[in-house]
Structure 1
Amino acid sequence: MIDHLDHLVLTTADEKACTRFYVDLMGMVLETFGPGRKAFRFGNQKINLHVKGHEFEPKAQVPTPGALDLCFIASVPLDDVIARLKDKGLPIIEGPVMRTGATSRIRSVYVRDPDLNLIEISELSP
């Protein structure tokens, strides 16, 4: 019945810091759509942005900054990701470690975004 994820919604307490993280560090594209709506686009997906206290309806029952645990597959080798994170001064809180992804084993590092969401960045492993 379900084929793939189209988008998800991230609730932030600090729109500017959140945008810097996902656009400047993660390389996503900021997209504006509809009145006052913003999203971070990457590949064929996007993350819609809600600001705490100014969410769009309908919304999650309890939209909360810092409640997400997301895993992204990198478009470059993980060693390049690690170098970029170090260059930008973002601490890696764990990794690289081997994990089990949706379609194969993955090699991952973990960081936190400005709202303290757990962000896993991975590369597919043979």
Structure 2
Amino acid sequence: MSVSVTQLDHLVLTVADIDATSAFYTQVFGMTAEQFHPADGTLRTALVFGSQKINLHQAGSEYRPHAARPVAGSADLCFLSETPLATWQSHFSDLGVQIEDGPIARTGAMGPIMSVYIRDPDGNLIEVSNAA
């Protein structure tokens, strides 16, 4: 029997401040911060966009099971967008978000992309890309 996976359901970011992270991703990326109750009955926060979500874990109070060494600021994420990078650059500038690098040519999962890089409040590297 052969096995395979079909898509990513969610990922988890360990963060220093859930409220600050939620505010950043909602303001900068238009995501929606939603609280939810998983099967264990706890109250958790997720950032939702399209059919994707990022679950947030508070550093030092991570839900089990969790990564072997959960730490805020260790992620490197790439978001695809149809919005032109020049528009993103203006948007980042308007919000006072510093561009770390780009636009620069990169290679994504489906081929060539053009990217700009910023950092979130925890220092995670965030790439915003257009198909090239």
Q: Name the counterpart of 2:11.
A: 8
Q: Moved runs in structure 1, 4+ residues, more than 2 A?
A: none
Across the aligned residues of Structure 1 and Structure 2, the Cα RMSD in angstroms comes to 0.9
TM score, norm. by length of structure 2: 0.91
1:50-89 matches, within 5 Å, as 50-89=57-96
Identity %: 48
* Correspondence for 1:114: 121
CA offsets per residue over residues 12-40 of structure 1, 9 Å max, x none?
Answer: 01222211111111111111111321100
Flag structure 2 segments of 5+ consecutive residues without an equivalent. Answer: none
* Distance in 2, Cα, partners of 1:21 & 1:13: 13
TM-score using structure 1 length: 0.95
Give ranges in structure 1 of 5+ residues lacking alignment.
Answer: none
Of 22, 25, 31 in structure 1, the residue corresponding to residue 25 of structure 2 is 22
- Equivalent residue number for residue 124 of structure 1: 131
Partner amino acid, structure 2, of 1:80: T
Q: By how many angstroms is 1:75 displaced?
A: 3.9
Report the count of equivalent residues.
125
In 2, Cα distance between equivalents of 1:102 and 1:30: 27
Aligned residue for 2:113, secondary structure, equals strand
1:71-104 alpha-carbon deviations (Å, 9 max, x no partner): 0002422211111001000000100001000002
Larger radius of gyration: 2
